């Protein structure tokens, strides 16, 4: 009821409010929800190693002083064939596009630890960017801490940007030493995307903006510059034929490198986002952290655990039904949820030998719900076969 009241309340506008709506897009399992949770400072979006954990568009709200960031966490961009395979709703295909229509800035998240996909943006991501070329976009390389050969970042960045950042051609000034073992501590000189002599004067936010960019990359032993002589071609419309031959997007304004799971360099990105905000009315009360209802958060967290502990495609057929949602005598939240599965064999898998699997799911989900709701939670899960 309190969350409902906050969402219905008129936002408590400061004197000079600023706002930025951010769409985060990328392939399934790139780490979008993990990044959202780190930016928010609390876990409100489900996270799992399995693809398509996020099933619908959800908003996270960061309010800092006079600025409100509205983060649109979207399902991973997928195609109809894969959507059918994972029993995904139609919304899974349309929500990312809806988010783009309302965004002031788009973050494209790429998992650099996946050697199969890291050197090219998926066709779905490229199609999405090409439909909205007027929306400023930023490339965010995630899971950089897992990448052992840091010198590969030079190649990855060149491929994903088509060699162009912020309208200027990238120049590799020096390569990373092959034995570099740094984590995500100091920057590739890549986020400036302008010649060193003009970095402060050419930026709308001047030196303050450049300070936020410090640390937004990875390793000072590798250095990207920008050729001031070769300007990139102006913004143009890309048709299906153009996209066929493209691996990257030549209109990214900035590049950030981070490890969202451990929160490394997330603050640098957050500072940058706060500085990109424009004058505009807040959409939410400053106490609101997410547009989701408590029931939605609960469903998402339980589904996350089910995805984690069940093999392959099985969890995508689970239906959740909340039977009890009430406050106990001591102020604790009592939740009873039924998990409906299509087959008896799935029921046995979900319960586990001696009830171990379902007990573990209930225990871990209950702990996450306590952290999300900041109150005691008693969670009971029961498994039934769909009639």
Element holding 174 (H helix, E strand): strand 168-174
Q: Which residues contact 360 (CB under 8 A, 6 or more apart)?
A: 305, 309, 352
Task: Show me where the domains of the chain are located.
Answer: 1-172+239-279, 294-385
- Residue carrying structure tokens 């309190």: 2
Beta strands, E only, 181-251: 223-231
Residue 195: HSE in the Cβ half-sphere, 13 Å Cα cutoff: 7
CATH architecture entry for 294-385: 2-Layer Sandwich (3.30)
pTM: 0.76
> What confidence score (pLDDT) does residue 273 get?
97
Under-50 pLDDT residues of the chain: 52-55, 76-96, 174-182, 185-222, 226-233
Q: Give me the pLDDT at residue 217, please.
A: 45
Identify the CA nearest to 270 among candidates 143, 113, 386, 107: 107
**Same fold? 1-172+239-279, 294-385:** no
Enter the CATH code of domain 1-172+239-279: 3.40.50.300
pLDDT for 124: 84
pLDDT at 49: 59
Q: For residue 224, what pLDDT is reported?
A: 55
**Quick one: pLDDT at residue 83?**
41
Q: Which residue has the tokens 């965004």?
A: 103
Pairing verdict, β 137-142 and 105-111: parallel
Q: Are 306 and 315 in contact (CB under 8 A)?
A: yes
Which residues share a beta bridge with 339?
320, 383
């Amino acid at each position: 009821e309190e969350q409902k009241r906050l969402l219905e309340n008129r936002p408590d506008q400061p004197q000079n409010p600023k706002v930025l709506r951010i769409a985060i897009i990328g392939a399934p399992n790139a780490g979008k929800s993990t990044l959202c949770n780190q930016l928010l400072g609390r876990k409100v979006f489900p996270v799992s190693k399995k693809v398509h954990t996020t099933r619908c568009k959800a908003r996270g709200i960061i309010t800092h002083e006079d600025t409100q960031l509205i983060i649109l966490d979207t399902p991973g961009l997928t195609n109809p064939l894969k959507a059918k395979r994972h029993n995904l709703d139609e919304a899974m295909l349309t929500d990312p596009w809806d988010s783009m229509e309302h965004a002031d800035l788009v973050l494209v998240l790429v998992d650099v630890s996946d050697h199969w996909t890291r050197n090219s943006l998926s066709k779905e991501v490229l199609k999405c960017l090409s439909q909205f070329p007027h929306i400023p976009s930023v490339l965010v390389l995630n899971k950089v801490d897992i990448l052992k050969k840091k010198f590969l970042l030079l190649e990855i960045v060149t491929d994903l940007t088509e060699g162009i950042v912020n309208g200027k051609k990238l120049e590799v000034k020096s390569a990373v030493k092959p034995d570099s073992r740094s984590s995500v501590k100091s920057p590739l000189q890549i986020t400036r995307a302008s010649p060193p002599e003009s970095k402060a004067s050419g930026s709308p936010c001047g030196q303050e903006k450049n300070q936020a960019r410090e640390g937004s990359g990875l390793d000072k032993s590798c250095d990207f510059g920008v050729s001031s002589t070769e300007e990139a071609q102006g913004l143009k419309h890309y048709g299906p034929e153009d996209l066929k031959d493209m691996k990257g997007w030549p209109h990214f304004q900035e590049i950030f490198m981070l490890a969202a799971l451990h929160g490394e360099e997330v603050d640098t990105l957050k500072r940058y986002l706060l500085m990109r905000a424009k004058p505009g009315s807040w959409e939410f009360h400053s106490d609101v952290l997410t547009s989701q209802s408590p029931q939605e958060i609960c469903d998402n967290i339980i589904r996350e655990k089910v995805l984690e502990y069940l093999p392959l495609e099985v969890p995508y057929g689970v239906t959740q039904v909340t039977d009890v949602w009430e406050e106990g005598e001591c102020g604790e939240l009592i939740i009873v949820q039924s998990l409906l599965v299509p087959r008896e064999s799935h029921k046995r898998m979900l319960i586990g030998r001696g009830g171990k699997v379902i007990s573990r799911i209930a225990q871990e989900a209950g702990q996450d719900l306590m952290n999300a709701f900041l109150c005691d939670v008693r969670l009971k899960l029961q498994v039934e076969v769909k009639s």
